[in-house]
Structure 1
C-alpha cells in the first residue's frame, strides 16, 4: 500500500493536538539536520542578516503565532 500526502494529512488532522504535535516532531526529526543539509554557513549568514534587519527596523518583528498563521494561510491558498 502506498500512502499519499492527502491521505496522511487527512488522518493527521483528525488527531488530537498532542498527537498531532508528536507526529510533526517525529517527521521533523526523521529528515535529519536540515541546517547542515542546507549548508551551515549559508544558514548562519542568513540568520545574521535577518537579525540585523530586525535591529534596524523592529516593526518588522511578528509573534510566533502570527508567523504560524501567515504560513498556514499560504498553505491553504
Structure 2
C-alpha cells in the first residue's frame, strides 16, 4: 500500500488530499498515468514528485509503504 498526497488544485480535481493505493513496484510515470486514468480531471503533467520527502525522477520506482507527493507548479511574485 502506498499513500499519495495531493496539493492545491489537484485536491480540487479529485476531491481529496490523499489516497491509499495498492499499486507498488512501478515507476512514477506509470503511477501518474494510472491516477490520471482513474481521475480524468486530474492533471499531473507539470508536477514535481517526491517519494518519502525526497524529489524523485519519473523513472524512480515506488515501493510498498512509500509516501508519494505530487507538487504542482508554483507561481507568484
TM-score category (smaller protein): under 0.3
The TM-score with structure 2 as length reference comes to 0.24
User: Hey, which of these two has a bigger chunk of helix by percent?
Assistant: 1
User: Hey, which of these two has a bigger chunk of strand by percent?
Assistant: 2
Of the two, which has the highest radius of gyration?
1
The TM-score with structure 1 as length reference comes to 0.24
